[in-house]
């Protein structure tokens, strides 16, 4: 079994530190291919791949995360993978736990992850301007797991994806419209808080988001150290 991990990233001082931390961990596993996705205005081609970076031509913005996810995904579908995991730069993924979890999944029609959200609020920056999508369930963008057939389906119908709403909602809406899949939370998810005195090592996704991003970096270092210390292998 092969996994493809796509990590949302945009260049700034904090995220650059997170990028180096992610690289120190993610590239240590066989059968797991990881890329970081960014938008770059001044490039010739629509998509340019440089080592572990996928650059999509365009300007970084909150709502453009949907666009850069779909375009990046469309250019790596030729790779050998069974599941694609879409996450973000500040979420640490426990790769051995993820791998063994995915071994239990069906090969097709998979759309799941670590955090299930019920849309029930207005969020103007995310493109949720009215109640038309309220009641929809979707997987949070920090921890989306999809089988390859779903990734291909999204690519085939990418003109039908809503690019005016935030990425995880857009993906959830696509799944609701084009499949019979009912999203459920099945993967384990741990939210890091400043008050966490200990961090368990048996979760898959570790989300780091606080009002002090420097503390998030400290927590990410701690999580990676703990995961490396467990010495679990694929």
Please tell me the predicted confidence (pLDDT) of residue 196. Answer: 66
What value does the mean pLDDT of the chain take? 95
Whether residue 234 has pLDDT greater than 70: no
The CATH code of the domain at 3-230 is 3.90.550
Please tell me the predicted confidence (pLDDT) of residue 55. Answer: 98
Per-residue pLDDT of 111-163, as tens digits, reads 999 999 999 999 999 999 999 999 999 999 999 999 999 999 999 999 999 99
Question: Would you place residue 198 in the very low, low, confident or very high pLDDT band (cuts 50, 70, 90)?
Answer: confident
Please tell me the predicted confidence (pLDDT) of residue 126. Answer: 97
Which whole-number Å values give the CA distances from 44 to 55, 58, 70, in the listed order? Answer: 11, 11, 19
Per-residue pLDDT of 55-102, as tens digits, reads 999 999 999 999 999 999 999 999 999 999 999 999 999 999 999 999
């Amino acid at each position: 079994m092969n996994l493809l991990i796509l990590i949302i990233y945009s260049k700034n001082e904090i995220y650059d530190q997170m990028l180096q931390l992610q690289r120190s961990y993610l590239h240590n596993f066989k059968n797991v291919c990881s890329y970081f996705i960014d938008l770059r205005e001044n490039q010739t081609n629509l998509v340019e791949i440089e080592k572990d970076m996928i650059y999509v031509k365009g300007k970084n913005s909150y709502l453009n995360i949907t666009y850069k996810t779909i375009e990046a995904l469309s250019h790596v579908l030729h790779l050998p993978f069974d599941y694609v995991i879409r996450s973000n730069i500040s979420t640490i993924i426990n790769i051995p736990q993820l791998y063994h979890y995915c071994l239990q999944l069906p090969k097709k029609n998979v759309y799941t992850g670590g955090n299930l959200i019920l849309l029930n609020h207005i969020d103007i920056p995310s493109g949720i301007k009215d109640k038309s999508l309220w009641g929809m369930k979707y997987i949070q963008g920090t921890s989306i797991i999809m089988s390859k057939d779903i990734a291909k389906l999204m690519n085939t119908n990418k003109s039908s994806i809503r690019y005016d709403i935030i990425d995880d909602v857009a993906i959830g809406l696509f799944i609701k419209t084009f499949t019979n899949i009912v999203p459920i939370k099945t993967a384990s998810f741990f939210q890091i808080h400043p008050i966490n005195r200990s961090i368990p090592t048996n979760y898959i996704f570790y989300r780091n988001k606080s009002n002090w991003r420097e503390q998030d970096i400290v927590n990410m270092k701690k999580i990676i150290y703990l995961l490396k210390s467990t010495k679990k292998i694929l």
